[in-house]
Structure 1
Amino acid sequence: MNPTTDDSAFFPAPAPKEPAPLKVAVIVGSNREGRFGPVVADWLLGRFRGRDDLDVEVVDTADAGLPTALSYSPSPEVAAELAKVTPKLAAADAFVVLTPEYNHSFPASLKALIDWHFEEWRAKPVGFVSYGGVSGGLRAVEQLRQVFAELHAVTVRDTVSFHNAGAFFDDEGRHKDPAAPDAAAKVMLDQLVWWASALRAAKAVRPYGS
């Protein structure tokens, strides 16, 4: 009788497959004329550079053109606008919402984008970057947490906020003292990755709501 041999010495197990990068939709919430949002958005996109675990795409409400009047039967014009953004939201594993604060709340353009969709948000994590005056947009973020909870999304705890934002960026859009916001962005994105990875894996085993 031949002795039992261990084939693993000759045929080592294949290396574990690296998970695909997480798709993150960065939503620019303001469509206001003269908005400061693109400055903060460019800064935020810089924080994604060098992260192989994240694949980012921008969804700008200024380009969406969605009306605030909702409809179960949108016109061809509205359907065409939805076709620009809905596939991006559906494909995303996670979101980062960039919002200013208008009158202690968030912009109507952002609410319209949110309300025109439902399934696209479900069982996905949402991070926040806010900017404004003294409050840094934090009141807008707290209201958005309630909105996304109703849509079955998970909001991450840590945020990035810019108080009196205009004073902290130079004419080239560079933050004058980036250490603190860079660190805050890393914490927020790391939390987003944890939740997005966990939820993606869970949904692969059991679809949400089943």
Structure 2
Amino acid sequence: MTRIMIIIGSVRPGRIGLPIAHWVRDRVAAAGHEVDLVDLAVLNLPFMDEPEHPAKRAYTKPHTIAWSARVEQADAVLLVSPEYNHSYSPALKNALDFLALEWQGKPVGVVSYGGASGGLRGAAALDAVLTTIGLVRVPVDVAINGPHAQLVDGTFAADAKNDATLAKLLDGLDRYAEALRPLRS
């Protein structure tokens, strides 16, 4: 069983990322994985308030110590990320930048959403950050075009393509997590 941390990359009120993340969470759990759903709006990390560089792991703030321990427990990371102006959200960037060593050697996948591109431009913008902090990108993206059209009574109603692509992504996360396990030891 792989412990998959799902991070909701948007903190906007009324965000569609929350129902999309609930769909992802349900599929991850149904596939037999352990789930840690991180809502950045609830986590509410301040902007980088540690005095030392994260690579030193000399954390002084309780929120950083708790975030570090939580990320450390994950075998894999799945980002549910909106596209903001051809990029990703500042809340997601902040959450990633808060830590350094905790991310290394873990596979990461992206479920992106947005307009015509399905959030793929934002997902592509994430690549440099993800590799720099040591995450290993699984080469499968779930890109949801115009997700509001798939919202039914506040619940995201995935189509067959969404479900099939997410299943491939989860398989990749599981395989990569196993292969990378020795690097995280």
User: Do they fold alike, i.e. is TM over 0.5?
Assistant: yes
Match of 1:46 in 2: 26
Aligned to 2:10: 30
Q: How far 1:90 moved relative to its partner? A: 0.7
| 2:113 is aligned with 1:160 | no
What is the number of equivalent residue pairs in this alignment?
179
- Are the aligned partners of 1:37 and 1:100 in contact in 2 as well (CA < 8 Å)? yes
Q: Which has the higher contact order (CA 8 A, sep 6+)?
A: 2
Aligned letter for 2:36?
E
Contact 1:99 1:131 in 2 (8 A): yes
Shift in Å, 1:158: 0.5
Q: List 4+ stretches of structure 1 deviating above 6 A.
A: none
Cα deviation for residue 172 of structure 1 reads: 4.1
Does 2:93 align with 1:111? yes
Percent of residue pairs bearing the same amino acid type: 34
Q: Larger strand proportion, structure 1 or 2?
A: 2
**Residue 70 of structure 1, CA deviation:** 4.3
Unaligned 5+ segments in structure 2 are 54-59
1:64-79 equivalence runs, <5 A: 64-72=43-51, 79=61
Q: CA RMSD in A?
A: 1.8
The CA deviation string for residues 55-98 of structure 1, in whole angstroms up to 9 with x for no partner, is: 11111110122223443259xxx823224432111110110011
Partner of 1:60: 39
Secondary structure at the aligned position of 2:144 is classed as strand
Corresponding position: 1:191 with 2:182? no
Structure 2 equivalent of residue 11 of structure 1: none
Q: What is the rounded CA distance, in whole Å, between the counterparts of 1:49 and 1:91 in structure 2?
A: 17
TM-score relative to the length of structure 2: 0.89
